[in-house]
Amino acid sequence: MEQEKNPIAITLREVNKWYGEFHVLKNLNLDVSRGERIVICGPSGSGKSTMIRCINRLEEHQKGQIIVDGIELNNDIKNIDQIRREVGMVFQHFNLFPHLTVLENCCLAPMWVRKIPRKEAEATAMEYLERVKIPHQAKKFPGQLSGGQQQRVAIARSLCMKPRIMLFDEPTSALDPEMIKEVLDTMIELAESGMTMLCVTHEMGFAKTVADRVIFMDGGEIIEMNPPDEFFNHPQHERTQLFLSQIL
Ligand code: ADP
Ligand code: MG
């Protein structure tokens, strides 16, 4: 396949976005290689969510280029559909359908978007529920699960679409402390499997363990981007130093 040869999974070139008058993303430049794990951190309101939401077109940028898996994001609806299929996203608030069982949550998109027959969709779902270590909860409803379990279902649900890229937006921020580790462990396993990942998180332990590069954003800009060693031990910018001193 042509795309298989493309070593770059995501390119952002001079990306700019405004919410009305407010300049929320400023000249973002980034190349993410296939299989690369990137952690994005930065103060609240710095544009982290907006940036990753632009990558699967939940938000639109106004200037510059975003290319995902060789496809440029523009107004072509066909492109957007294709991107959504290849890019999985996990949010802070799991966003599971409360009236559907765990298994049904996992089968919905594969059946309706990818047109996979139910039996096959269920088999795939069980495979991923096993991978996130909750196959025995398949028949339960989300409300019957703990926050950590729900987030692992959300990860499994995304994986059922066989995405090539996974985006995470503060996946552990809404969790009680004792549940954070089980979700991070799932993410670490996913990282080890070679998935291309962009994770907005303030879990710096996770960043140190799995990130190939860490990005610091502030005021809508990428202020600093370095491998974790360099990033944590020798932060270049004052703003990065200040941020790290506050969270570490
Ligand atoms: P972060 O994820 O880093 O906390 P966001 O990307 O959510 O930051 O938000 C960046 C800035 O854009 C914030 O100042 C926020 O208030 C603003 N913002 C976010 N979404 C919208 C929106 N839909 N309309 C207007 N402003 C928004
Ligand atoms: Mg955010």
Query: Separation of 45 CA from ligand 1 center, angstroms?
Result: 6
| Ligand 1 near 52 CB (within 6 A) | no
Q: Which residue has the higher pLDDT, 81 or 17?
A: 17
| Ligand 1 near 158 CB (within 6 A) | no
- Convert the pLDDT of each residue in 73-127 to its tens digit: 988 888 888 888 899 999 999 899 999 999 999 999 999 988 999 999 999 999 9
Tokens encoding 244: 């790290």
From the alpha carbon of 43, which atom of ligand 1 is closest?
3
- Convert the pLDDT of each residue in 233-242 to its tens digit: 999 999 999 9
pLDDT over threshold 60, residue 12: yes
Ligand nearest to the CA of 173: 2
Residue located nearest, by CA, to atom 16 of ligand 1: 45
Query: Separation of 229 CA from ligand 2 center, angstroms?
Result: 25
CA dist., res. 51 & res. 71, Å (int): 17
Band (5; pLDDT cuts 50, 70, 90)? low
Residue located nearest, by CA, to atom 26 of ligand 1: 19
| Ligand 1 near 48 CB (within 6 A) | yes
- Convert the pLDDT of each residue in 190-235 to its tens digit: 999 999 999 999 999 999 999 999 999 999 999 999 999 999 999 9
CA dist., res. 216 & res. 214, Å (int): 7
Residue to substitute in 46, 50, 52, 215 for testing ligand 1 pocket (most ligand atoms within 8 angstroms of CB): 50
Residue 134: predicted pLDDT: 95
| Ligand 1 near 45 CB (within 6 A) | yes
- Convert the pLDDT of each residue in 55-65 to its tens digit: 999 999 999 99
Any idea what the Cα angle at residue 122 is, between residues 168 and 156, rounded to 5°?
15
**pTM > 0.80:** yes
Backbone φ/ψ region at 231: left (φ over 0), alpha (ψ -120 to 50), beta: alpha
- Convert the pLDDT of each residue in 114-160 to its tens digit: 899 999 999 999 999 999 999 999 999 999 999 999 999 999 999 99
